[in-house]
Structure 1
Amino acid sequence: MSTMPKTLPKRSEVASEHQWKLTDLFADQESWDNVYDEVKGQLKKFEEFRGKLSDEESIGACFRFEDEVSLKLEQLYVYTHLYHDQDTANPTYQALTQKGRKLLVEAGEAMSFITPEILSLDDAQLDQLIEAESLKDYRFTLQEMKREKAHVLTQAEEALLAQVGNLAQAPQNIFGMLNNADLKFPNIKDENGNEVELTHGSYIQFLENPNVEVRRQAFQTIYATYAKLKNTIGASLTANVNKNIFYARARKYPSVLEMKLYGDNIPVSVYDNLLDAIHESLPILHRYMRLRKKLMGVDELHMYDLFAPLVEEFKMDITYDEAKKIVAEGLQPLGEDYLKVLDDSFKSGWIDVYENEGKRTGAYSSGAYGVHPYVLLNHKDNLNSMFTLAHEMGHALHSYYSDENQKYRDAQYTIFLAEVASTTNEALLMDYLLKKATDNKEKMYLLTYYADQFRTTVFRQTMFAEFEKIVHARTEAGESLTPQDLSNIYYDLNVQYHGPDMVVDRDIEMEWARIPHFYNSFYVYKYATGFSAATSFSKQILDEGAPAVERYLGFLKSGGSDFSINILKQAGVDMSSPEPVREAMSVFEALIEQMEQLAN
């Protein structure tokens, strides 16, 4: 039976076993205050290192001190943000979060001289430092600094670029205000003819409505609203592209794409391989569209039909306790050690389970080195929440293994790797559920759920990535793109991706105007590469067993101790080749085949 209450409880009414244990970070407010005061005092000490960072002894001492202060800062900040998120209306923790953030900014300023001062040394001196035995714990840090050197400017130029920072936020801020605050959509009619409000939040729910009229109205209304603002939003997106080009040229990168990939040391070939591998796999997506059309029993499949249910809603009521049990069973292929940590995490106050008044929405994993990770959930008793639990525990155990096996500096893994462990867990859970399913309706429900993840996470995000690449390349080549040019590029990509069995409604040409990720340029490809790497890992784990598990745990333990591509390669997934994407596509194709058999 479902355990969810009818009205949201206050934070004080939540059972302690469903709350995370923040006392593992700080015993009480007084302990937090003491460490805060201590760090505040320590920040002044950084001045003692200024002007002296030229030999291995002083650099080693500075790095060790930086680690000590940074670790405390991390614990201070994480404590306040977790407290704030469990009850965002609590004024004490609103104030404390502000205090924590301010301290982070002050610390950033106090430490800001370290990298430029070390980079003022010549390459021969830097090479000596990289090889120095006394600095072996900081070898990767120093290698990274040296790699960045070509793109670090003089102190005066860096100071000037820092001042431009606030201006650089403008395109994103303007779009955010327009999209979140000013933009209002007209009402539409629901399946009973009642007027209902169309919002960002309700849009996808309307697209999931079994009634085609409701879906069509929501779709046409939202894009007609964006179309009225296409000149303004076009100007903000173009400004963002021009800002990127400014920074790429100022920092001497050949292109914006190379600048954006440089931080994670990802070769441009990884981006191009993703696009190429997805292009060659488009026939599989087209086959899925054909199947969708057949299952829905329609003469024409429209863009607004992509989220419509393919099977009558198959209800899966899964309580939190059942979800924990099923997730643990689904992750059995990962071996005893992994399952033991997972079991401990369920019992030791890592997780904040249910929604309460004022609690932040969504789900995430967060934490500070030296203390176990924390997971925020807003659990509902359904399939989606069970997958969310598996996903977030993937993040949490990745952090746990990284922290246990790496020193502070090397434990933090990159965003490029961040979604791999979480999605591997989901893939293993899905495999387990599909093998266990006896009812055809349940099987079809699960297959649809999984196939749509491929469609939205791999194909859709790659299409976004291709749109960004085209828009930047054409602007870098000196073209001025009008809002209609942006719409044409976007429309043509939709036609190419969705294939001949899809009626690509003209309204979709405005979708570029509502994607906030386009203001965090060249980021979305990581969803597709992460999902592909995870699908490849789960396939190897299920096919090979122990040797693949060993490699995978090695990946989890590596943290950020090497470049992302190297860490994955050592674990058996080579993202510098298109193979992992092709492997993911073979899994997708197998899903479609199973769905086709069930449909006949």
Structure 2
Amino acid sequence: MNAVIKRSETKPEHRWKLEDLFASQADWDKEYALATAAIKKIAQYEGKLDDAAQLKACFTLEDEISLHVERLYVYANMRHHEDMAAPEYQALSDKSKKLSVQSGEATSFISPEVLSLPDEKLEKYIADPELAPFHSTLKEMRRQKAHTLSKSEEMLLAQVGNVSQAPSTIFGMLNNADLKFPKVKDENGEEVELTHGRYIQFLESKNREVRREAFEKMYETYGKMKNTLAATLNANVTKNTFYANARKYPSVLEMSLFGDNISKDVYTNLIDTIHEHLPLMHRYMNLRKSLLKVDELHMYDLFAPLVEEFKMDISYEEAKALVKESLKPLGEDYLEVLQEGYDKSWIDVYENEGKRSGAYSWGAFGTHPYVLLNHKDNLNSMFTLTHEMGHALHSYYSDQEQPYRDAQYTIFLAEVASTLNEALLMHYLLEKSTDPKEKMYLLTYYADQFRTTVFRQTMFAEFEKIIHEKVAEGESLTPQELSKIYYDLNVKYYGEDMVVDQDIEMEWARIPHFYTSFYVYKYATGFSAATSFSKQILEEGEPAVERYLGFLKSGSSDYSIEILKKAGVDMSSPAPISQAMSVFEDLISQMEQLVAQGK
């Protein structure tokens, strides 16, 4: 294994060019001075927003502050991510974070003040052509008004804010600091401590005994803390119910969907449509059982490799070429922007000492986006490249086409472009593959994405819905009740070919997403929307591409559901989820065919 190189040893062509954001530290300092001066100026508008000219000037200055802070923050943190140990960029990152907090505090009067205006005044502002650039902001504020309380009540809720973080904080401490797991024998028979990070590695082991032991010991550990963990989750649900009641929402679910202006139907449609397609999941489990050649399929077999690791060595240059080739269906314009990203140093490619792990796409309005990778020459890294470039091009098109206020797309839409790129890459690789082993490797890789991103996240979403409804009906969430609900869902989702081990009933206790309630469904809807887009693009060609590019250019110029609808994906109907399921069915059929041929 080669030693990890220092940042100074990386080749310039493999580094992102942050000079496009700030040519020098002196330029950053200059902009920092402009930002602090602008932050001081905003206070002059407090108490004066009942005048259209003053409101326009205030919003304009707010945008100026926001853009300064965004540019400073993004640059400082991306420099910090190049080498997390470099003290000068640690300091710069801290400085930018403090500035962001100052800016938030200085502008915090704007929203409550506008919301306290009489309805007729707000309507007048929305109709005022002078305020046209801010119409969507004002409409959104008007929409929020029904759930905004009086000044003193809002102040009280703000003070409760810290207390409301308690369930999540306590869970985090328990889960990451206090829970200690026993040792497990690895494939070499050596005793290794079980940790969160090693758990999935153990479950991916070819040795079934390693998988079983890791699984049982993981849930046995959680089982010992079941009363505390149930009380913590119960407290989180109770907190959500308090906020929903205080802000006059019909339910916690509707409160959680309100920010994205998404109707409850989108959530329930997802669950109902996945229920209809559970026979596909069961069929996949049956296939998994026969590929693993086991008499009984257990929960600890879900991550076991189905085919011998098919070694795909793909250099970064090859990955770039394959990604570009696979995205040809998106047209010349898209490919030109992609090539610009390759050629003009948007991407920081390889790992170096101290570099932040993982991958992301980020940037500031007015400059091209950036992508951080830690590239390895394998299939996974190629999928990461296309995924992050999907985010980057979504940001690029939205920034090009939308004004600053409307350029940033929502979390509900965030994973669509990245996942679409992955779907097109997978389609391309499967089309050109002639080796049955390679094909089976790719098919299992893709089928498992459906299992983990659509089925599993929908099961989580259903669990959240059930437990919140129980608390709303006045029931208490005992550890026994939580475990029964969770166990029964596993039985339902995995079907008859799966031995649903009793231990899995404690899995609810280790899912951090349950403390960011009603969020996980977005993984499933985003994946389904992307799969639906890819199907339309591959089948229809040009008209579907045009609609899709329209989606990329939309930012947040309308509500998420409407942006998708205009582009041909109506998430308020079951159609996109059904389309995604037809792609999943096709994958299973191809796998079954290969099995029948004895490949």
Shift of 1:348: 1.0
Match of 2:582 among 565, 574, 586: 586
SS in 1 for 2:218: helix
**Which residue does the alignment assign to 1:306?**
302
SS in 2 for 1:188: strand
Structure 1 CA distance, aligned partners of 2:92 and 2:159?
Answer: 28
Q: Does 1:83 align with 2:79?
A: yes
Contact 2:391–2:417 (CA under 8 A) maintained in structure 1: yes
Structure 2 CA distance, aligned partners of 1:180 and 1:16?
Answer: 38
Shift of 1:402: 0.2
Match of 2:209 among 213, 237, 261: 213
The equivalences for 1:253-264 within 5 A come to: 253-264=249-260
**Which residue does the alignment assign to 1:536?**
532
**Which residue does the alignment assign to 2:235?**
239
Contact 2:38–2:61 (CA under 8 A) maintained in structure 1: no
Q: Which one is further off, 428-437 or 181-190?
A: 181-190
CA-atom RMSD, angstroms?
A: 0.9
Structure 2 CA distance, aligned partners of 1:167 and 1:372?
Answer: 40
Structure 2 CA distance, aligned partners of 1:67 and 1:339?
Answer: 32
**Which residue does the alignment assign to 1:345?**
341
The equivalences for 1:147-226 within 5 A come to: 147-226=143-222
Structure 1 CA distance, aligned partners of 2:234 and 2:90?
Answer: 36
SS in 2 for 1:196: strand
Amino acid corresponding to residue 317 of structure 2 in structure 1 = D
Shift of 1:583: 0.5
SS in 2 for 1:558: coil
Structure 2 CA distance, aligned partners of 1:172 and 1:501?
Answer: 36
Match of 2:443 among 440, 447, 461: 447
Cα deviation, 1:281-313, whole Å, max 9, x if unaligned, reads: 000000000111111111100001011111111
Aligned residue-pair number: 596
Structure 2 CA distance, aligned partners of 1:55 and 1:535?
Answer: 48
Match of 2:31 among 35, 39, 46: 35
Q: Which one is further off, 426-435 or 359-368?
A: 359-368
Q: Does 1:422 align with 2:418?
A: yes
**Which residue does the alignment assign to 1:558?**
554
Unaligned 5+ runs, structure 2: none
Structure 2 CA distance, aligned partners of 1:233 and 1:360?
Answer: 31
TM-score normalized by the length of structure 2: 0.98
Cα deviation, 1:117-155, whole Å, max 9, x if unaligned, reads: 111112222112112111111111111000000111111
Match of 2:453 among 454, 457, 471: 457
Cα deviation, 1:34-89, whole Å, max 9, x if unaligned, reads: 21122112112111111111132211111111111100100010011111112111
Amino acid corresponding to residue 43 of structure 1 in structure 2 = I
The equivalences for 1:378-393 within 5 A come to: 378-393=374-389
Structure 1 CA distance, aligned partners of 2:516 and 2:81?
Answer: 24
Structure 2 CA distance, aligned partners of 1:369 and 1:449?
Answer: 35
Amino acid corresponding to residue 212 of structure 1 in structure 2 = R
Structure 2 CA distance, aligned partners of 1:167 and 1:97?
Answer: 28
**Which residue does the alignment assign to 2:515?**
519
**Which residue does the alignment assign to 1:100?**
96
Shift of 1:423: 0.3
Structure 2 CA distance, aligned partners of 1:426 and 1:94?
Answer: 34
Structure 2 CA distance, aligned partners of 1:12 and 1:178?
Answer: 39
Amino acid corresponding to residue 541 of structure 1 in structure 2 = I
Q: Does 1:374 align with 2:339?
A: no
Structure 2 CA distance, aligned partners of 1:8 and 1:50?
Answer: 53
Structure 2 CA distance, aligned partners of 1:554 and 1:488?
Answer: 46
**Which residue does the alignment assign to 2:268?**
272
Structure 1 CA distance, aligned partners of 2:445 and 2:197?
Answer: 20
Q: Sequence identity of aligned pairs in percent?
A: 70
**Which residue does the alignment assign to 1:508?**
504
SS in 2 for 1:151: coil
Structure 1 CA distance, aligned partners of 2:443 and 2:290?
Answer: 16
**Which residue does the alignment assign to 1:546?**
542
TM-score normalized by the length of structure 1: 0.98
Structure 1 CA distance, aligned partners of 2:292 and 2:364?
Answer: 48
Q: Does 1:435 align with 2:439?
A: no
Structure 2 CA distance, aligned partners of 1:415 and 1:290?
Answer: 35
Q: Does 1:482 align with 2:478?
A: yes
Cα deviation, 1:203-246, whole Å, max 9, x if unaligned, reads: 11111111100110111111111111111111111111111111
**Which residue does the alignment assign to 1:120?**
116
Structure 2 CA distance, aligned partners of 1:428 and 1:599?
Answer: 25
Shift of 1:178: 1.4
